[in-house]
Amino acid sequence: MANVIVIGAQWGDEGKGKITDLLSRSADIVVRYQGGNNAGHTVVVGDRTFKLHLIPSGILYPKTECIIASGTVIDPQVLLEEVDRLTELGVSTANLFIAQTAHVTMPYHRVLDRAAEDQRAEHKIGTTGRGIGPTYADKSERTGIRMIDLMDQARMPKKLRWAIEQKNIILEKLYNLEPLDADAIIAEYQGYAERLRPHVIDASLKIDEAIRERRNILFEGAQGTLLDLDHGTYPYVTSSNPVAGGACIGAGVGPTCIDRVIGVAKAYTTRVGEGPFPTELHDAIGAQIGDRGAEFGTTTGRKRRCGWFDGVIGRYAVRINGLDCLAVTKLDVLDDLAEIKVCTAYELDGKVVRDFPSDARAFARAVPIYETLSGWQRSTSECKTVEDLPSEAKTYLKFLSDLMEIPIAIISLGASRGQTIIVEDPIHGPKRGLLRS
* Catalytic site positions: 13, 41, 139
Residue 180 CB neighbours (<10 A): 16
Among 298, 303, 306, CA closest to 277: 306
- Burial pattern 250-285, b for ≥16 Cβ within 10 A else e, equals bbbbeeebbebbbbbbbbbbbbbbbbbbbbbbeeeb
Give the gyration radius of the chain's Cα atoms. 22
434 vs 437: CA distance, rounded Å: 10
Distance CA 377, CA 371 (A): 18
Which uninterrupted H or E stretch holds 310? strand 309-310
Q: Is the peptide bond before 134 cis (omega within 30 degrees of 0)?
A: no
How far is CA 407 from its chain centroid? 21
Annotated binding-site ranges for Mg(2+): 13, 40
**263 beta partners:** 7, 326
Q: Which residues are known binding-site members for substrate?
A: 298-304
Contact 45, 257 (CB under 8 A): no
Give the full edge-to-edge strand order of the sheet including 29-32: 200-201, 96-99, 65-68, 29-32, 217-220, 3-8, 260-266, 325-329, 408-412, 420-422
Q: Indicate if the alpha-carbon torsion angle 418, 424, 427, 428 is positive or negative.
A: positive
Q: Phi and psi (nearest 5°) for 41?
A: -115, 135
Of 292, 267, 408, the C-alpha closest to 342 is 267
What secondary structure, in 3-state letters, does 408-420 show?
A: EEEEECCCECCCE
Binding site: which residues?
A: 12-18, 38-42, 128, 142, 223, 238, 298-304, 330-332, 412-414
Q: Give Cα separations from 151 to 185, 197, 252 (angstroms).
A: 15, 7, 21
